[in-house]
Amino acid sequence: MSISSNTPKASRQTSDFNADWQFQLQTANQTTIEADWRSVTLPHDWSIEQPFSSELEGATAYLPGGIGWYQKNFDMKELKKGQRVFILFDGIYNNASLWLNKQLLGKQHYGYSPFYFEISQYLKASDNQLKIKVDRSRIADSRWYPGAGIYREVKLITVNPVHIPIWSSVVDSIEINQGFAQILHKFKVVSEQLNQRIQIDSHIVELDTGRPVASYQHQATLSNKEQAFAFSCDILQPKLWSPDSPTLYQMTTKLTAGSKELDCITTRFGLRDFHFNSQQGFFLNGQATKIKGVCLHHDGGLVGAAVPEAVWERRLTRLKEAGVNAIRMAHNPSSEVLLSLCDRLGFLVQDEFFDEWDFPKDKRLNMNEQHNDAASRGYAEHFQTHAKQDLKNALRAHINHPCIFMWSIGNEIEWTYPRNVEATGFFDANWNGNYFWNLPPNSPQQISNKLKTLPHHNYDIGKTAHQLAQWVREEDVSRPVTANCILPSVSYLNGYAKSLDVIGFSYRQVLYDYGHQHHPQLPIISNEALPQWHEWKAVSERSHVAGLFLWTGIDYLGEVHQQWPTKALAAGLLDTAAFKKAPYYLFQSLWTNKPMVQIHNQVFDEERFVYKTDSLSLEERDPQAWKKKLWIWPEQQQHWNFSSNQLIAIEVISNCQEVELQLNGRTIGSKQLADQADRMFRWALPFQPGELVALAKNNSKVLATHRLSTTQTASDLVVTVEGTPLQKGQPGYQHLVVQLADSEGKWVSHQNTQLSFELTGPAELVGLDNGHPASVQTFNASQIDTHQGRALALIKYTGEEENILVRITTPEGFFKVQRFILE
């Protein structure tokens, strides 16, 4: 729900509370010291500012935790008698304790759920001090990089005694037909004064155009201190929300008594109709739709967990261009900023609540706990006492986002319940099969029998799943409940799957038909899949599988135990700088209709390839290897600069029927897509300088072309500015992609150097990244080594009315000055 006010005297005032904070990082055995405070603006992640260290934990990207303190001083001189004030946090990681004027407001352990406190009773007219302790001293408390600090936005909300409570306004679709939609608006009104007569007025407009589409009015008497209301209204000729057409509506609801406005809120929503069918998959607005999804962790690369909207928009736009239509928020509730972007840009979203339940996961090894140490204690410690509130907070805050089409109650939870692992038979010492590629060694009957005899522990996975699903359905029955099941053969039988509306498989392609055969009533979706062609092939050939979410859309920090200096898992379509990788182009070829072609190459690897000298063809030594490829692709090059006659393996990706490869105008060969089992067009050539060209054709007509040219030595820099242009007086962000170039301006990706940045004017350098997973250069620095001849810089404009200069230099002496003329 989006709540706003346009004037300082509005009945409800919702203010950004992100500026003018002070921060200090507590050292060992030290309390706060007044002289050590430094100014910060929220969102803020202190961990990402620090150097990487091999002495820390790969699970959390070799970055430190610690204890951080925040404080903010503020006045409330215009607060009127009877008004109530709330402070709303979208997320603090983690174990936060909050005090206002030395009075404890409360604590929040879970780092991903939004929460709020009423602070009215502790406020003074002036000299208020809010102090927050964030304890992330357990540096291995997560399986991925979580960040540290108040890493999401904060709002201050002031309301009158009669008001609509936070998160209580919900818009549901009752019926959607061609040319007609009926919605139900549910909300509550709080009032200390009983029997007060109020007027309720709601008006709905199309958000982009402001066109009025519906309204309702109602008079009511407030007979309870908290009173629920529900009103329906009709929208004629509605525009339905979908990834291809993400139309949004906005409802403005006013409460008045006579001529006095008591409250005014806005609620954004979208209209869409969807359902899952166990035989035919997923339907959106009446159309069969395959989920072409990716999983995303919540970090934004060089900004860590404190991700500006501009960073997410660049990343999501790039994924959209690859044909991605859905995102799984792994493995925690997402930020309001990211969900709002998904609403606007058009992504279906699976919002996930938890990565562990009753029992802890081993944060280093991803499975049942084996490292029993304090540093790896995570949310399982608080699950019994806080899960209900944390789940409901996230759900209530997110419920009006039309992008959300599924709630996931958990990720790969089965690992933490030992009896489930044992019942599958997968890990029996005398079984010679492969977990990824073979059916379960135990039949359903054998699994059931084992579950009856294996000892129970303190908690039962089926009972916990039932409770979580029940809490979801108490708030929302319009969306299905799912979970990501790593051992579905046992989850079907232990009570877990009984709580789900759609079962999600995690890397269980081999069980698509098994699950459909033994449990035909339960729809299937692949909630986590390898970024390989064989995964999409299996889904596209089965109507009963709704789609998949690749692991992952973007490389992410962490989950790299004992792999120093590798700090990020490189399983994404994009790297941490959101530069496109080879798998990006593969899935673009699968998920978009626009003709495309892309060349990648690498030095010939005789262990992997076979080279046929007569045809210059290249084949994988194992013709079936593509069927069992896992997460990480070999690093590919995008240049044509090698040693003379060095044998180069060339791989071309295209969605066209035919690809012709040329070198210096001479045809090397043509291949048909239908003949490439793994959709890769391959050749091998002894290197000759010049121009390598791939021509993609349908019916002999060239529809797409990609060229790689031999370049000269780098002698220049080319800067590409990405993002919405900066406007004078409006703070914002810009991405600068800096590439090495030769005298002709061509990208030189086979050379590297160090880039140094210097800014003048009202801007700051947020950070630098080259996208390499094993680069451990501090993000928060003014210098960086390029990777593949390029790097990314993020700058933040602070809003003053001056121009900005960015000077970029190299040790070789060439430089570039990027000017931002603000108008």
Pairing of strands 180-190, 103-108: unpaired
Q: So what's the pLDDT on residue 550? A: 98
Query: Where would I find the beta strands (DSSP E) of 524-575?
Result: 524-529, 545-550, 556-557, 568-569
* CATH classification code of 170-269: 2.60.40.10
Closest CA to 569 of 768, 790, 774: 774
pLDDT of residue 317: 98
CATH of 13-159, one of 2.170.120.12, 1.10.10.10, 2.60.130.10, 2.60.120.260: 2.60.120.260
Task: Output phi, psi for 517, to 5 deg.
Answer: -70, -45
CATH, domain range 716-820: 2.60.40.10
**Structure confidence by residue, pLDDT tens digits, 623-664:** 899 999 999 998 889 999 999 999 999 999 999 999 999 999
The DSSP code for 470 is H
Nearest to 360 by CA among 386, 379, 384: 379
Contact 651, 662 (CB under 8 A): no
- The two tokens of residue 94 are 């983690």
CA distance 353 to 481: 11
| CB neighbour list of residue 680: distance below 8 Å, 6 or more residues apart | 626, 651, 652, 653
| Amino acid residing at 51 | P
Q: Are 692 and 662 in contact (CB under 8 A)?
A: yes
What fold does the segment set 593-709 form as a domain? Immunoglobulin-like (2.60.40)
Q: Which residues, in sequence order, are CB contacts of 573 under 8 Å at separation 6+? A: 294, 319, 322, 531, 550, 552, 553, 554, 580, 581, 583, 584, 587
Q: Which fold has domain 288-560?
A: TIM Barrel (3.20.20)
Q: How far apart are CA 363 and CA 377, in angstroms?
A: 9
**CA 207 remoteness from chain centre:** 24
Query: Is 593-709's fold the same as 716-820's?
Result: yes
- Beta-carbon contacts of residue 217 (< 8 Å; ≥ 6 apart): 199, 200, 201, 202
Q: What pTM value is reported for the model?
A: 0.94
Q: What SS3 class is residue 183?
A: strand
H or E element that contains 194: none
- pLDDT tens sequence across 60-107: 999 999 999 999 999 999 899 999 999 999 999 999 999 999 999 999
Give the contacts of 132 (CB within 8 A, at least 6 positions apart). Answer: 69, 70, 71, 92, 96, 97, 98, 99, 150
Per the CB < 8 A criterion, the answer to whether 626 and 677 are in contact is yes
- Taking the C-alpha atoms of residue 301 and residue 568, their distance in angstroms, rounded to an integer, is 9
Q: What does DSSP say about strands 481-485 and 790-797: parallel, antiparallel, or unpaired?
A: unpaired
DSSP string, 130-177: EEEEEEE--TTSSSS----BS-S-EEEEEE-SSBPPTT--EEEEEEEE
| Cα distances (angstroms) measured from residue 747 to each of 46, 81, 649, 751 | 35, 64, 21, 10
pLDDT tens, 321-335?
999 999 999 999 999
Residue 346 CB partners (closer than 8 Å, separation 6+)? 241, 242, 243, 244, 245, 246, 320, 325, 403
Q: How many residues does the chain have?
A: 823
CA distance 60 to 25: 18
* CA–CA dist 456, 606 (Å, integer): 52
C-beta separation of 26 from 67 below 8 A: yes
Tell which residue, 457, 142, 474, has the closest CA to residue 299: 142
Beta strand 701-709 pairing with 691-698: antiparallel
Q: Which residues of the chain are under the pLDDT cut of 50? A: 1-8
Q: Where are the beta strands (DSSP E) in 278-416?
A: 281-284, 287-288, 291-296, 326-329, 348-352, 404-411
Rounded CA-CA distance 416/355 in Å is 10
The pair phi, psi for residue 315, each rounded to 5°, is -65, -45
- Contact in structure between 284 and 277 (CB atoms under 8 Å): no
Domains of the chain, residue spans: 13-159, 170-269, 288-560, 593-709, 716-820
Residues whose CB is less than 8 angstroms from the CB of residue 535 and which lie 6 or more positions away in sequence, other chains included: 509, 526, 529, 548, 550
Model confidence over 737-767: pLDDT tens digits?
999 999 999 999 999 999 999 999 999 999 9
Residue 1, pLDDT score:
30
